[in-house]
Every structure is written in structure tokens, then in C-alpha cells.
Structure 1
Amino acid sequence: MMFDGNTALDIEREANTALTYIEQWGAKNKLRFAPHKTCAMVMTRKLKYDNPRLKMGSVDIALSKQVKILGLHIDSKLTFNEHVGKQTAKALDIFKQVSRAAKINWGLHPEVVRQIYVAAVEPIILYAASAWAPAADKIGVQKLLNSVQRGFAQKLCKSYRTVSLHSALTLAGILPLDLRIQEAAALYETKRGSPLPELGDRETESKVGFAETPHPALHMDIIFERLEDQSLVDRHNVQEVRIFTDGSKIEGKVGAALSVWKGESEVRNQKFSLSAYCTVYQAELLAICRATGGILKGRERSYGLYSDSMAALETVANHSSLHPLAVESRENLRKALTQGKDVSLYWIKAHAGLQGNERADELAKEAALALKRKPDYDKCPVSFAKRSIRNQTLKKKKKNKKPLKFNPEHIFGEQSRKKKKKKKKKKKKKKKNLT
């Protein structure tokens, strides 16, 4: 719970009222709270202030300088120094174990060390990065992060301990942790709905909330069959209407289309335009979604829906997938079933000479290249957001990049040392000869 006020008395009054209500609610529902395990923290910019006296029942609630919530250590000044210190200590423990088995001339392969770093160390450091990302700009925090990253970077490029951080990072091909933290925070905000500068006011594609999906009792089994040649397609040609869908991305443009067939002839088709940053996967899902929407408006009783995208069909068939187009497609199929319509889904092999699929592919390419109207679907995929944020990170890295001072002793230490020894021996021999 959070309370604010101009004075400690205002906070004390509000907090104690809420705590009394919680205690009474717990008593009614046969729940007992432990006030002696509860912590409170005062957050203010004032240098002098009074601490509020908080009580639950007759037990005082202790005030502390920091609290831990879901693994995030929050201090009263929001410096997050304690959190960064503990996370870096965990990462250093992993490094100590890795350093025992990864030496310059023997031990773990650098790619194994990279996998440990990416899969174990970075997630530990980046945990809850969106909450404390501004703290990564402080010099003290950067020193803690550098102490972790330098060791792993040296192990990745198999260099000596004298190699500098910037040289090791460049040779290892990894990004500085402070930039990775800012990147993780930016991606989190983008997923929450904050627009990217490159997209203007266009929103990022986000998953549908679980509460907005139909109740699990209303779920229907969605199964699709695989048809790999024309003979199998002809054998399953028993529906009144067949709909072929396809998506295409060509010359940096994206389009989708559907072709409606009755018997052996096409009766109508539709083309859809998508924004240039959209993916073929989105185009395939959009075509399936619009096809299922058209089935609801049709008068026929049986339909066959054909797509050459296995990924799109599996997404639609998987009820745990919360992609907005997949959720809408499943809802359309459920409504079609309540209308007494029979809809069969089929996967067909792409570019195998199947008449309906080739026609849908042709229409999708025309939609991508020829349509000059406002996009029918312009939600930005998360993959594009990740790519844009990574490009911004690389630009920041170039601005902050220091010139790499290459010293062969750091990387090829043994060879350079041997050369020095040989030179010393030659000098000694020359001196002896002169004497």
C-alpha cells in the first residue's frame, strides 16, 4: 500500500485507517496478518521530517530504510545501490565458478562462456531493469556493472587480466551492461504501449488480456489437416466454398490476400495492405482472420480454409496464444459453429503448383506492390520494436566509444614475451662479444 500527505500526521491517519480496515476484513474471512513481519518505508526529499507511527491492532509496524518487493530492493532515496550491489554479487559468484573451468589455454570453449553469460548473468543483472534503469547512468553503478562484465569479456576473447574493459568488450562482441539495461527498460515500456519515435502515434502489437478471451468452457477444438499435393486437395474438395489465404513481403512492402472459390472457379477475392514494418507472419494471420470474418457473413453451410503458413495455423489452433489476430480468428470460428456452419482448416504446401494457393500468392504480391491506400493493419510487431531499440543502442555505443588501443601482449602474451627474451639474450651476447 502507498500513502502520501503533506505531513507525517496525514500519512499516519490514512495508513492506520486502512490497516484497521484490513485487520477487520481478515477477522471476518478468518485470516490473520503478521504485523511484526510487515515493514514500512518513508520516502521524502525533506532533510528533516517526522516518522509516522503505524499500528495494526496493538502491534507497531517497524520502519526501515529499504524494502524488498518481488526480488527488487527499493531504498528510501530510490538510489537502488543496494539492489545493484546484490545482483552484481550474484553474477560475480557465477564468474568465480566459470573462471575455475575457463582458462586461456584450456577449459570451457568461449561459446559456452557466452551462453552462460547471456542465459544466466545478463538476466540476473537486467531483472526489473525498467524500475531502476535511470540509476545505470551513475558512475558508481557503472563501476559495479563493469566489474562483472570485464571478467566475462576477458574469458570470451581468451585474453589476460591486464586487458582493459573497452578492448575486451570490443573483442568479445558484447554490449556494455548500462546500455543493455536501458535497452531492456525501453522494450518493456514499448510493450506496455509507449510509442517508438520511429512509429509516431502508431501502437505496438500487444497480447490480448486473458480476461478478454472467452471462458475456457467455450473453447472449441481447432484441428487442421495437411495436404501436400493436388490429389489430396481434390479429395478434400467437398465444401461448398473454398478460401485460399496468403501473405507476402516483397521489396520491403507487405500484403495479404484471400481468394474465394466455388467449384473450379474463383468467385471473388480481397487484397489487404500492411505497413512496411509488419511481418509475413502478421500478413498470414490477417488473411486468415478476414477469411473467418467473411465466413460469418456467408450464406453457405460448409467452408474449407486453406493456408500455406504452418505457424499461422498453429497459432490459431493454440488457445494459449494471445495474439490479437489469432484470438479474433478463434472467436469467428466459434461464432460460425453456433450458426451451424462447418469450417475445415487445411495446410497446403507453398509453391507446389496448387491452383488456389498460386492465385492467393499472386494476389498477395499485388497487394504488397500495387495497393496505394491506407494500411488495413498497421500495428508494429515486437520484433521490429526490438530491432529499432537495438539500433538506437548501437548508435549510443558508437558515440561513447573510446579508441581501441591494441597491445599484442594482451592477446598474444606468450609470443611477445618469447620475443623479448630472445632480444635480451642477443643484447647480452653482443655485450660479451664487445668486452
Structure 2
Amino acid sequence: MSREQERAKERIAAELDRSRRRSNGLTLDSLDEADLLAQHSPLMSPLVWDLAHIGNYEEQWLLRAAGGREALRPDIDGLYDAFENPRADRVALPLLRPEEARDYNDRVRREVLDTLDSVDLETVPAPRSAGERSLLEAGFVFHMVIQHEHMHDETMLATHQLRRGAPVLLEEESAPPEPSPPTAEEVLVPAGPFTMGTDDDPWSYDNERSAHTVDLDAYWIDTDPVTNRAYLRFVEDGGYQDPRWWSDEGWEWKRRRDAVAPAFWTPDGDGWVRRRFGRVEEVPPDQPVQHVSFHEAEAYARWAGRRLPTEAEWEKAARFDPASGRSRRFPWGDEEPTGGHANLGQRALGPHPVGSHPEGDSPLGVRHLIGDVWEWTSTTFHGYPGFSAFPYREYSEVFFGGGYKVLRGGSWATHPTAVRSTFRNWDHPIRRQIFSGFRCARDADRA
């Protein structure tokens, strides 16, 4: 085995361990059986479903598909198929109990590590087309499973936020770096082409491929995500009572929901408080606003005389380096994120104040593009030119054209292995239990 393969396998084993410790910390290590079996919201699965689903997905892809092994528990495949079982129905399924789920996951993991020792990761450059890739090329299938588990960990955190009861998640991180003020409230992104998407990132999904040139007119984009302080001005100006700012669909959602502020906000005297993982606290003014739907973000942007950026505008602001003309993997370069670059990986249980991570600025001076809050864009989820589903249609393709809106950048709850400047998230425009915020943009020819 080459030293390159050894290093790749060491990294995979370490990341598999990190993801499992995080999953167990959000379930078996923090909640009792009743909480794990309960459905805390019809929007979410019981946490014990997520836990066993992670193991079942790992078994199917790393043991059966990549390792060629016999199925350990084919009898539970149907229970943990996300497409066969809507979230609201999962609580009624004959699910594995928490300790059964732990034992199953542990057994899968032991066999996965045996498989990792024996497979050839095919450490060769990635081809241009997603359809030409193989599961083991540069360890892709292992990367896919690691990212999948971390995505479910973020989903588990959303369930924790919806859960009622005393706090069970600890605040462990020290205070973030002292925020620095922006040099300007918005940044001009020059007109011209840039490369969107990727052909060679070994962690990339099919919907991030293929790399293609997009030519954009000049536009302005906010230096930072919209903060709670800025959003509060919209609330206090009657933004939720004025249909001028809302699309017809958004106004109908707001009316049916009786929304008057972001999710989990409550008026308190002359101000507002929010509920965060069982804690009630004043809304921090300098953090990016989170738990807003696409409709709320769009309404705020109209009220402010602006709009949401397109997905391509977001990616150019995040990746394009005018000095070299190339697109970077991350706003700061190609090296992987550190705590200095971005607020990721549940280091905190919420966003950091804007300006806290100057090392993460893009070459154009746009800040907080990675981490803190997922950012809504105006783009409906679709495939790029040359898209080819890999390794299964249900990851991306079945969601194209379904009215899902694209979110970019990751949140404080997103693990560093599960986000990059090409990574594409998507959700229904009504969703706000997710850790979502936004920034605004405007055409450069508008005052």
C-alpha cells in the first residue's frame, strides 16, 4: 500500500470516529430512551430513527456496495428508507430501541474498519463527469458516508431545538474572537465570467458537478449576513403586516402560520427573547438572524429595496479571486477550515457575531460565507450542465424541479467535512427549523 493510501485511510478512520462520537453525543449520551423514541415535531424523525438510519446507510454503502459483503440486517432496510417513510410516520414504525441501535451501529462500524483496511481507494485524479466516477475513487464512498452522518447530526440538532424541556446540550466553547467592523456594508462583485461547480473535489456530490463557466453582470452583495439587529427593524416597521413585501405564496404562508418574527422569537416587554436549546435569552443583536424561511428572507430583501442573491452570485462572491481569475475551494483558499476561518462543527450552539472570523474573508472582502447560518438564495434547485446522477438518483436528481430553494455556505451546526464553496443544500421555502439566514444583493446599475 502506498503512503498516499495509508494517509487517506487514516483520515477516513479518524473522520468516521469523529462523526460517530458526535452522533452518540446528540442521542445516546444526552437523552433518555423516552426522549429518543418521542417525535418532538411532525417535521422531524424520532432521534432513534436518525441514529439507526445512519448505521443502515453505512452498512448499505460501505459493507455491501463497496465491500461486497452480505447484508447484516436486510430486514430493517425498509424501516430506515427515507423515501418510503415520511418523517411524520416514522414514530409508528417498529424501530430499533436505542441500545439495539447502538449495538447495530457498533457492529457495522467494526466491519467497515475491516473493509477499509482491505479496499483499494483508487487514488487517481477525478474525471470530469460524475457518471464516470467509481465508488472507491479517492475514497469517495467513505467521504459520502461521513458527510451523510454529519448531515444527520445537523438534523438531530434541529430536532433538539424543537424539543421542549430542560437543556441537555452544553455550552462548551470559549467566547469567539473580538468582532471587527466591516469596511463597507456591501461589496461590488465585478462583471465577468467565473468557474462554478467542480470537477475534481474528492468530497463533492453529483449536484456540484460539472464545473462550468457562468458570466454575470456586476452586482453588489452584503458584506455580512443580515443580523438580528437589522432584521428587527423590519419586524418593528410592520414588515409582517404589510403584504407589499411578500410574494403571494409567502403572504399565504405567513397568514396561515400567523408568523410575526423568526421562529423561536417571543416579544418580551420592549424587546424580544428567543428559545435556544431549552434556554431563553435576549436576542443577540450582532449575530446573523437564523430560523427564517425563504419567504421571510425574500420579504426582508424587498423591504430593504434589495433582493436575494442568485446561487451563482453567491458562489462567485465566495470563490472568485480577481487576482488569479480562478475559483477557490473556500473563500480563504484551498486549505480546510479552522476555527479561525469559520464557525462550524458545533463549536458553539449558535452563530457568532458578524466580523468574528476575518481569516475567512473572500478575496473580494465578503465575510461569513462559510458557517454561522445557511444562506437562502433565489435559485430553484436544479442540475448543472452535464449533470449525471451518482451514485444514486435519490441524493439529488429526484429533487430537481420540485420548488426547492438552494441554500449555501453551511451553518454553525455543519461539520467542516460537509461544506465547501461548491456545496449545495436545498429545502422547501417554508422551512425555518433549519439554521437558515441570508444576505441581500442588488444590481450594480441600481442606486
TM-score by length of 2: 0.23
Higher helix proportion (structure 1 or 2): 1
State the structure with more CA Rg.
1
